[in-house]
Structure 1
Amino acid sequence: MRVVSLVPSLTEAVARTLPGVLAGATDWCTRPTDLDVPRIGGTKNPDVPAIVALRPDLVVANEEENRAPDLAALRAAGTEVLLTEVRTLPQAVTELDRVLRACGAPSRPRWLDEAEAAWTALAAPARRVRAVVPVWRRPWMVVGRDTFAGDLLARLGVDNVYADHAERYPRVPLGELDAVDKDVVVLPDEPYRFTAADGPEAFTAPSALVSGRHLTWYGPSLGRAPEVLGRALREPVRRGDG
């Protein structure tokens, strides 16, 4: 079996479960750190001819991460594409199982069972907080409706202020983000690398600097995500702390 992955989360999941199956991955596929396969461009601009030249049995992709025209071009070239949709934790578990079985796994891997159990065992939050969740600046963009990150945060007691927005990743002026009623600003370190010196200074509310991998990836990182995110949410920083 030869698989090309166009999604960092799926790359990590396939590499951990089925070593040697991956025949190619994107430039953004940084896990596992020792992954040694041909790189075929970015998630939004993959090199379609290079992927076809690798002669994969399957390309795994995601409806949010990847562009429909690229996937259509791969299919037109005779390459099988498995397209996933992941907007909730249960969807992530189901889709990971589907992808791994399509890649040759005989059964659901133990790490996926453990990840699901870690979230199932999560205690009900003692209190809920309201948050805005920027994912980019210049321009400012935030997590809106129907997102995987929003679902994970809700399970941790964090209610996204923009969860009912018409767009999934709306652009919102900084003045509105700072003025809207909220308890905390959740700042992940990807896709934009928010740090203590770049992000919290823009807001009067305290900011929680969180691991973007544990908030937005839906591979093996899911197992530690409740612990990692929970700790970060309990340790917000305030403007000027950095």
Structure 2
Amino acid sequence: MAEALWYDALGVPHRRVTGTPRIVSLVPSLTETLFAFSLGEAVVGRTGFCVHPAEVKGVPKVGGTKDVRLERLFALEPTHVIANVDENRREQVEAIAAAGIEVIVTHPCRLEDNVALFRLLGGVFDREEAADYAVQAFESVLELARTIAASLPPERVLYPIWRGPWMTVARSTWISAMLEAVGWQTWPAIEEPRYPVIDEESVHRAGIARVLLPSEPYRFGEEHAEEARRLLGADVPVTLVDGEMVSWYGTRAISGLCYLAALRRDLAEALSA
């Protein structure tokens, strides 16, 4: 019988781990997922942005997602490192792989990619039952979200991720896919660049129905709502949203879809009232 292999986002094959793994996660949402898969004791390192679940506080930090302290990481003697195309710097990930450490690279852009991600982590780390449960839960809430979206007219939204300059997301991103699941279509309708700078003249003509201001990566607050309205040059409603619920994949996306579906329904009901 052929040995089972699981492929990461770069097409690199990975075998099921033998022995006890030592995992350093450089991806906050996947640190949370590893704990959800009962792999918390195997996580020996994390970034400073890996803050969920609460139990992660006892895990040593190796720097940030973009500025990993490689000497700290190597000192932990990991067998595996979890990385992401968007969140980590390529040169650092390549340096880790060159040191002989198995690197699992992730890059979910479509919601279906989350299913493959569950299968990958469950297969490599012998947690296939947990992966099955996560897949079933994710697919169930995705169906619910799309049902709610189908009952409402679609809305074009602006989802800024930064200011100074103002930046947003293209439709090739995970964030856009999450919003699309509940009927929010992100502007602009482009695939690349994935995180474009907002063209103020173009956004004025875009027919934006709502601005969604997330809590991360830039921590937008009430003080930025009026600034966003001035950017659009119109009286467009501005809603603050939990950025983790929109931008985190892995197991957080299960509660994220529930959060977005409820928010979409509540805002639509408030508008009709």
**Fold shared per TM-score above 0.5:** yes
User: How many residues were matched structurally?
Assistant: 236
Residue aligning to 1:230: 261
Q: Which residue of 2 aligns with 1:37?
A: 59
SS at match of 1:96: helix
Q: Higher helix share goes to which structure?
A: 2
Point out the more displaced range, 214-223 or 149-158. 214-223
Match of 1:22 among 38, 43, 57: 43
Q: CA RMSD in A?
A: 1.9
Distance 1:125 1:57 in 2: 48
Take 1:209 and 1:95, find their aligned partners in 2: how far apart are those partners?
29
Single out whichever of 36-45 and 175-184 deviates more from structure 2.
Answer: 175-184
> Is the contact between residue 3 and residue 59 of structure 1 (CA under 8 Å) also seen in structure 2?
yes
Give CA-to-partner distance per residue, 1:163-222, whole Å, 9 cap, x none: 315310001144543553111111111111112222344213111221111100012222
SS of 1:29 mapped into structure 2: coil
Q: Where does 1:90-169 land on structure 2 (aligned, <5 Å)?
A: 90-107=112-129, 108-122=131-145, 123=147, 124-164=150-190, 166-169=192-195
Moved over 3 A (4+): 173-179, 231-236
SS of the residue 1:224 aligns to: helix
Q: Alpha-carbon deviation of 1:109?
A: 4.8
Q: Which consecutive unaligned segments of at least 5 residues does structure 1 have? A: 237-242
| Residue equivalent to 2:236 | 205
> CA deviation digits over 1:54-85, x for unaligned, max 9?
11110011111111100110011111101111
Aligned partners of 1:100 and 1:25: how far apart in 2? 19
1:3 corresponds, among 23, 39, 64, to 23
Greater Cα offset, 128-137 or 164-173: 164-173
Point out where structure 2 has 5 or more consecutive residues left out of the alignment: 1-20, 230-234, 269-273
- The alignment's TM-score, normalised by the length of structure 1, stands at 0.90
| Deviation string, structure 1 residues 81-131 (Cα, Å, up to 9, x no partner) | 011110011101211320232233143252442122111233124210011
Change (3 A) 1:227 1:112: same
SS of residue paired to 2:101: coil
CA distance in 1 between counterparts of 2:207 and 2:70 reads: 45
Amino acid at match of 2:207: D
Q: TM-score, normalised on structure 2?
A: 0.80
Per-residue deviation, 1:232 = 3.2
